[in-house]
Amino acid sequence: MQRMVRVIIIILSLVVTGTVGFRVIEGDKPEATWINCCYMTMTTLTTVGYGEVIPLSEAGRIFVMLFLIVGFSAFTFSAFTMGQWLVSNEMQGLLEKRHMAQAIKAMQSHFIVCGMGRMGRTICEQLHERRRPFIVIDSDEERLVQNCKPHDWHYVVGDATDDLILEQAGIARAKSLAAVLPTDAGNVYVVLSARLLQKDLQIIARASDDKAATKLQQAGANRVVSPFTTAATKMARFMLSPNMEDFLEIADQKGRDLEMAEVQVSPSCSLVGKKLMETNLRELGIMVIGIRRADGERLMPPPGSAVILASDCLFVFGTADVVNKLVRETFS
């Protein structure tokens, strides 16, 4: 971009110099208006040669020759540089960023991942696999391009603790945010900023220990995950109930056949007002294992006579493709 600015400055300097030169040398002639002087400068630089609109004196012709020697070389170099820049990766990058910014502005009910570390990348892979819209925020542009560009993931370069960056990622329209920065202090700041910007946002945060987890919850996180505690709990479950864990792990494996998911019923859903037994969910291969009402009431397991209401949260289990399609198309 700086190279382009220099080229524009060179061209403008040449035009101004030529215009002023013609005006000073041939200013005693009525044809030597500012517009004619500028016209003479442009035809001289571009060597178009439409003709002299200002009768040139001997001094004027000497000025034209000197101006051609210096100006034409500089103008040609500038034009070549500009053309090279237009087709360079820099221009392509600017166009891609503009296109990405427009796409981000159009996103609704998307997910925001703050931090492109190992956890952040894994979260992105899970969201991408389920075809959910998401945006990644990280201050390392090289890391974002390396990880996001091959998959066409949307990203914002910047500090996730900055309110302007969160707003640029569309936090006001977002459905959920994951704070997985390398430090607990950074995650606390992200959670606090996000909660102040969007009070209804679902916020999931990473913590390295119990003390950090407490602070994150106080800052406004809905859920806090500690990798070490979670891993230890899972190992204990493998020891106590290995077969049950194998069954539950189906939903976490790539290439899985089954999926466990949470779906939020929108007011416009065609299932609103129907009893569970009256829906075609079972025929689609989907089992509703629980319902959580908007007032907090839980039906576990729900009876067939349970009526599906708007804003209900359904916990479903079934074929992965069918469940994901249901979440994307039928529910909000």
pLDDT in tens, 109-140: 999 999 999 999 999 998 998 888 999 999 99
Does 105 share its domain with 226? yes
Does 209 share its domain with 261? no
Choose between 88 and 182: higher pLDDT.
182
Whether 185 contacts 174, CB under 8 Å: no
pLDDT in tens, 224-234: 998 877 778 77
Range of the domain at 267: 255-330
Give a yes or no: residue 250 inside a domain.
Answer: no
Vertex 195: Cα angle to 192 and 105 (nearest 5): 115
Domain of residue 76, CATH code:
1.10.287.70
pLDDT band at 255 (very low <50, low <70, confident <90, very high): very low
Phi, psi of 179 (to 5 degrees): -100, 100
Whether 224 contacts 213, CB under 8 Å: yes
For the chain, what is the domain count? 3
Q: Is residue 61 predicted with pLDDT exceeding 60?
A: yes
CA distance 162 to 193: 8
CA distance 64 to 66: 6
Q: Is residue 266 predicted with pLDDT exceeding 60?
A: yes
CA distance 157 to 307: 46
Give the pair of three-digit tokens for residue 112: 């925001």
Give a yes or no: residue 157 inside a domain.
Answer: yes
Does 205 share its domain with 305? no
Whether 236 contacts 292, CB under 8 Å: no
| Residue in the block written with tokens 């007002």 | 273
pLDDT in tens, 135-177: 999 999 999 999 998 999 999 999 999 999 999 999 999 999 9
Domain of residue 279, CATH code:
3.30.70.1450
Domain of residue 144, CATH code:
3.40.50.720
